[in-house]
């Protein structure tokens, strides 16, 4: 015991004496818990696997089940309703209050704003998706864009989805830019994932040259592997035939690997897949969808590798904390999968687009060289003239071994890997290991403030700032217990949950509460609600109090004025 205490004291002393670390937060899009190699997947992710091997893997880290709310919670350290993104970036504020304004609240501060105030340089590459005005008509419309919320430099998209070959709302700093007429970045073949990786490398390298004595914060928010399924042919070729065996076979292989890795407790009963591969009519198309999805993840991992190589070359690697996580579980949305098959034209049938043309549409009408963009069952994804998602069957595989998908608060919707890598800061006893504490996106702000020695403000620009909701993960980095004084909560589209210790109360809208002992049943297969009504009542009361405090409104959201109109007619 004395030896352990001595080790912990030495670790804390070393940590407090070290220079403040650079901090990189990497967020990927629409990926499931088991997609990475180090979490059980067959997709080649050697660079993230290497970070896990030299760092720490969290097994019970959580997101908010959807892109906008996750980004709001991650950036602010608040629950998404407190940050103004109770649903998405659609504006319901007039109808149901400030929790649904669809724009990042000024009663919240971002990690970039806090760390910039603490002497950090701040950079972002990637998907923003917390501003209602993605298509700004004036400078005033950019009040919630990255450079207005604490970032020094930005390259990415304001909107939440779009073509990987011709992204819409692409912005450099505060100005829209066409990927094909950008004087600062003109690769031979434009691919958005590569562009984000390249700019992340550029930002850290430029920082080393211009401000070597200042720490930096980098937020790298990939859109991979969100639909549409777009990837480079060289990456797709690596996975040709890999998924021909179908959903069940791939999921079974993942389960076996997860057991070997120690990620799957033998007491847990994996969630059954809802789709039967034998009944799939177009297996070649279904297999191709997962091949392209895997290629998208592969390309993202290659970019992480280039970023790590740049950090090492710049002498920045040892004292940089890298946090990798995902915004929600696998996506079962049917985007581009319904309707009649549309064959590819033999030659362009539309006029080519000018290089300076700014893509206005999430789903482009055509490619740059004049091919119509195609959707529909059987359209083989990958090229720029397709716009398809991978569907519910493969989403179930991505979420192995958990239930449900993006949107829902069961484990399949909210469970994300978290990899923490920091050579100079992680205790020797935790490197290469796993941590089992429940943790959440709201903890990232608290962790960054803690490590940066920054001051979280009580006020900003005349607004009273809401206090942080999360706790710092710094104790876990040196092998200590994580003390969380309050439960964790979720709500999205009426899907609800509360996690208190090992117990989780969860509801899929419009259903009732279910109760699970997560330690013995992480896969939520044995509902104990009927057997423990008192616990259900107590935890439901916790959730109700939280919902009232953060401004949750019943789903579906309603316009109070519509009810007023009905009542006036009755009178």
- Cα atoms in the Cβ-side hemisphere of radius 13 Å centred on 353: 20
Strands 439-440 and 175-176, by their bridges, are unpaired
- What is 287-354 written as a DSSP string? HHHHHHHHHHHHHHHHHHHHHHHHHHHTT-STTEEEEEEESSS-----TT-SS---PPPSS--SPPPP
Report the mean per-residue pLDDT for the chain. 94
Q: Is the pLDDT of residue 570 over 60?
A: no
Mean of pLDDT values over 274-286: 88
Please answer whether residues 268 and 401 qualify as being in contact, where contact means their C-beta atoms are separated by less than 8 angstroms: yes
Cα dihedral sign, 516-520-521-522? positive
pLDDT at 99: 96
Percent of the chain whose predicted confidence (pLDDT) is above 70: 94
Which range among 16-25, 214-223, 291-300 shows the weakest confidence by mean pLDDT? 16-25
H or E segment at 123?
strand 121-127
| pLDDT for the residue 7 | 42
Q: From the DSSP assignment, how many helices (H) and strands (E) are in the chain?
A: 15, 17
3-state secondary structure 2-53: HHHHHHHHHHHHHHHHCCCCEEEEEEECCCCCCCCHHHCCCCCCHHHHHHHH
Q: What percent of the chain has pLDDT over 90?
A: 90
Domains of the chain by residue range: 20-486
Cβ atoms of residues 111 and 217 within 8 Å: yes
Q: What is the dihedral of CA 188, 45, 410, 250, to 10 degrees?
A: 110
pLDDT of residue 560: 57
Tens of pLDDT, residue by residue over 335-382, are: 999 998 989 989 999 999 999 999 999 999 999 999 999 999 999 999
pLDDT band at 94 (very low <50, low <70, confident <90, very high): confident
- Cis ω before 228 (30° cut-off from 0): yes
Question: How many CA atoms, within 13 angstroms, populate the side-chain half-sphere of residue 389?
Answer: 22
pLDDT of residue 2: 43
Give the catalytic positions in this structure: 67, 129
| Interior angle at CA 142, CA 136 and CA 147, nearest 5 | 135
CATH 3.40.720.10 fits 20-486, yes or no: yes
Q: Tokens 């019970």: give the residue.
A: 60
Above 80 in pLDDT, residue 98? yes
User: Which is nearest to 443 in space by CA: 107, 99, 111, 108?
Assistant: 111
In tens, the pLDDT along 31-57 reads 999 999 999 999 999 999 999 999 999
pTM of the model: 0.95
530: left (phi over 0), alpha (psi -120 to 50) or beta: alpha
């Amino acid at each position: 015991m004395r030896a352990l205490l001595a080790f912990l004291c030495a670790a804390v002393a070393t940590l407090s004496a070290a220079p403040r670390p650079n901090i990189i937060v990497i967020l990927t899009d629409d990926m499931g818990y088991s997609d990475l190699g180090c979490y059980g997947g067959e997709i080649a992710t050697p660079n993230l696997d290497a970070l896990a091997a030299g760092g720490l893997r969290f097994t019970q880290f959580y997101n908010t089940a959807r892109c906008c709310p996750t980004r709001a919670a991650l950036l602010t350290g608040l629950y998404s309703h407190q940050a103004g993104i109770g649903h998405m970036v659609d504006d319901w504020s007039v109808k149901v209050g400030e929790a649904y304004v669809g724009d990042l609240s000024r009663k919240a501060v971002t990690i970039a704003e806090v760390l910039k105030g603490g002497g950090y340089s701040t950079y972002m590459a990637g998907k923003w998706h917390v501003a209602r005005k993605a298509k700004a008509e004036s400078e005033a419309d950019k009040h919630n864009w990255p450079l207005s919320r604490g970032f020094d430099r930005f390259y990415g998209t304001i909107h939440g989805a779009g073509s990987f070959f011709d992204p819409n709302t692409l912005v450099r700093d505060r100005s829209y830019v066409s990927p094909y007429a950008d004087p600062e970045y003109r690769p031979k073949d434009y691919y958005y994932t590569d562009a984000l990786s390249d700019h992340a490398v550029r930002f850290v390298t430029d920082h080393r040259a211009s401000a070597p004595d200042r720490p930096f914060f980098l937020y790298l928010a990939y859109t991979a592997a969100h639909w549409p399924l777009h990837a480079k042919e060289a990456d797709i070729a690596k996975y040709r035939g890999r998924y021909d065996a179908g959903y069940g076979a791939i999921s079974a292989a993942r389960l076996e690997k997860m057991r070997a890795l120690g990620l799957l407790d033998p007491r847990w009963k994996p969630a059954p897949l809802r789709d039967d591969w034998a009944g799939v009519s177009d297996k070649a198309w279904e297999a191709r969808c997962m091949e392209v999805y895997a290629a998208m993840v592969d390309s993202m991992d290659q970019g992480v590798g280039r970023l790590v190589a740049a950090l090492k070359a710049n002498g920045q690697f040892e004292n940089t904390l890298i946090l990798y996580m995902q915004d929600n579980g696998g996506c079962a949305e049917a985007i581009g999968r319904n309707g009649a098959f549309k064959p590819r034209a033999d030659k362009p049938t539309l006029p080519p687009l000018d290089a300076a043309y700014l893509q206005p549409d999430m789903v482009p009408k055509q490619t740059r060289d004049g091919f119509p963009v195609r959707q529909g069952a059987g359209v083989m994804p990958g090229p720029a003239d397709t716009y398809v998602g991978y569907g519910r069957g493969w989403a179930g595989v991505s979420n192995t071994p958990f239930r449900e998908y993006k949107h829902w608060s069961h484990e399949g919707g909210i469970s994300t890997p978290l990899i923490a890598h920091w050579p100079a800061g992680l205790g020797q006893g935790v490197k290469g290991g796993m941590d089992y504490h429940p943790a959440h996106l709201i903890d990232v702000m608290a962790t960054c403030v803690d490590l940066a020695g920054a001051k979280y403000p009580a006020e900003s620009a005349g607004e009273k700032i809401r206090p942080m909701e999360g706790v710092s993960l710094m104790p876990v980095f040196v092998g200590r217990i994580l003390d969380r004084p309050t439960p964790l909560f979720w709500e999205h589209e009426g899907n609800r949950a509360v996690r208190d210790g090992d117990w989780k109360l969860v509801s899929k809208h419009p259903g009732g509460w279910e109760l699970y002992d997560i330690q013995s049943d992480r896969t939520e297969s044995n509902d104990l609600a009927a057997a423990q009504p008192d616990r259900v009542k107590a935890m439901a009361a916790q959730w109700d109090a939280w919902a009232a405090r953060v401004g949750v409104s019943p789903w579906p959201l309603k316009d109070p004025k519509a009810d007023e109109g009905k009542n006036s007619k009755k009178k």
